[in-house]
Amino acid sequence: MGTLVNAENIRGVYYTEGKDVVAVNDVSIKIEEGEVLGLAGESGSGKTTLGSIISLIARPPLHVEEGTLEIDGQVQELGGHAKIPRTWRGAVVSMLPQGAMNSISPTKRIRQLVYDVMRSHESKISKEEALDRARERLTTLGLPARVLDAYPHQLSGGMKQRTVTIISTLLNPRLLVADEPTSALDVTSQKILIEMLLEMLEKRIMSGVIFVTHDLPVLRTAANRIAVMYQGKIVELGPTEIVVERPEHPYTQALMSSVLAPEPAYANTRIEGMSSFDRSLFDAPAVFH
């Protein structure tokens, strides 16, 4: 198996009144075929911004100043006024935004959401065909087809999140970027969602996942590799076990000690300073395992 996605030299800047915010600062990252790549880091480190650029949904005030994306040997320029083919969004890369399960319209049945998603890509698809595809996908993944007749409030949080995840991959994207998909769920529902994502990969519904979360224990069970972001840059990247058990970058070490049982070695690392800009963390060289 080879590389599925190769994102290079990505620079994303929010043009805001007053000053520009460089949210993603020259990031290059690869996603291997069949893997879940965890994207970790504290709030504000640039995870969502990077995810939205790779999913080709960046829009003002966010501007992609530089970057290329290669998928299946096709190279897409991202910077400046590059034209993004409409056919890529949702079908080649798809993003499941944070909180998607709570932003679906409460007055529409799930079937309407399915139809809207399918029609946005295949304008001529019939309602029946769209629903057939969704029904088949739901049952393949162990959900009852009657979910389609439900209104969002009739589904539990876990079920709703699994449903929007399935809908976001109806077009069989090569890559799914899931932004904090487990953050609003209880531990049991988190586990079920992660198992479903892995099953979807196994069934080749998509071929790779970027799993964005600030929740490191979740990534421990879900991710093959973890990339850690800090201040718009990737500071450490490697196999999950290594990044979790033997992190080398001082920021990763501080992040780990803040969520896991304190290791004697990091016991003196101050966590309070993490959210603010810390020159010593910023200057430490990135570690790629």
Ligand X SMILES: Nc1ncnc2c1ncn2[C@@H]1O[C@H](COP(=O)(O)OP(=O)(O)O)[C@@H](O)[C@H]1O
- Residues of this chain that interact with Mg ion (CB under 5 A) are 48
252 binding ligand X? (CB under 6 A): no
34/44 with CB nearer ligand X:
44
Tell me which H or E stretch contains 282.
helix 279-283
Inter-residue contact 93 to 121 (CB < 8 Å): no
> How many residues sit close enough to ligand X to count as binding (CB under 6 A)?
13
**Which amino acid is present at 209?**
V
51/238 with CB nearer ligand X:
51
Assigned token pair, 120: 């946005």
Closest CA to 238 of 226, 230, 228: 226
Q: Of residues 48, 182, 189, 224, which one binds ligand X by CB under 6 A?
A: 48
Assigned token pair, 283: 């200057």
Collapsed DSSP state (helix, strand, coil) of residue 170 = coil
Rounded to 5 degrees, what are φ and ψ at 66? -150, 160
Q: Which of residues 54-113 bind ligand X (CB under 6 A)?
A: 61
Q: Which does 16 bind (CB under 5 to 8 A by kind): Mg ion, ligand X, none?
A: ligand X
41 binding ligand X? (CB under 6 A): yes
135/179 with CB nearer ligand X:
179
Q: Specify the length of the chain in residues.
A: 289
- Kindly provide the residue ranges of all beta strands, DSSP E only, lying in 100-224, ordered along the sequence: 175-179, 208-212
174 Cβ neighbours under 8 A, 6+ residues apart: 4, 5, 71, 72, 92, 93, 206, 207, 208
Q: How far is the CB of 47 from Mg ion (least distance, A)?
A: 5
38 binding ligand X? (CB under 6 A): no
C-alpha distances (whole Å) from 83 to each of 66, 173, 272 are 13, 19, 42
Give the residue closest to Mg ion by C-beta: 48
Q: Of residues 49, 55, 207, 213, which one binds ligand X by CB under 6 A?
A: 49
43 binding ligand X? (CB under 6 A): yes
Binding segment for ligand X among 44-52, 80-88, 138-146, 255-263 (CB under 6 A)? 44-52
Q: How far is the CB of 25 from Mg ion (least distance, A)?
A: 16
Q: Which does 107 bind (CB under 5 to 8 A by kind): Mg ion, ligand X, none?
A: none
Q: Which does 49 bind (CB under 5 to 8 A by kind): ligand X, Mg ion, none?
A: ligand X
Q: How far is the CB of 255 from ligand X (least distance, A)?
A: 12
48/257 with CB nearer ligand X:
48
Binding segment for ligand X among 40-48, 74-82, 142-150, 156-164 (CB under 6 A)? 40-48
Q: Of residues 11, 47, 137, 162, which one binds ligand X by CB under 6 A?
A: 47
Ramachandran assignment for 69, one of left (phi > 0), alpha (psi -120 to 50 degrees), beta (any other): beta
Q: How far is the CB of 123 from Mg ion (least distance, A)?
A: 32
User: Which residue intervals of the chain are DSSP H helices?
Assistant: 47-54, 100-103, 110-121, 127-140, 157-168, 187-202, 216-222, 240-245, 250-259, 279-283
91 Cβ neighbours under 8 A, 6+ residues apart: 121, 171, 172, 173
Between strands 20-32 and 208-212, the pairing is: unpaired
Q: Which does 14 bind (CB under 5 to 8 A by kind): ligand X, Mg ion, none?
A: ligand X
**Which amino acid is present at 204?**
R
Binding site for ligand X (CB under 6 A): 14, 16, 21, 23, 41, 43-49, 61
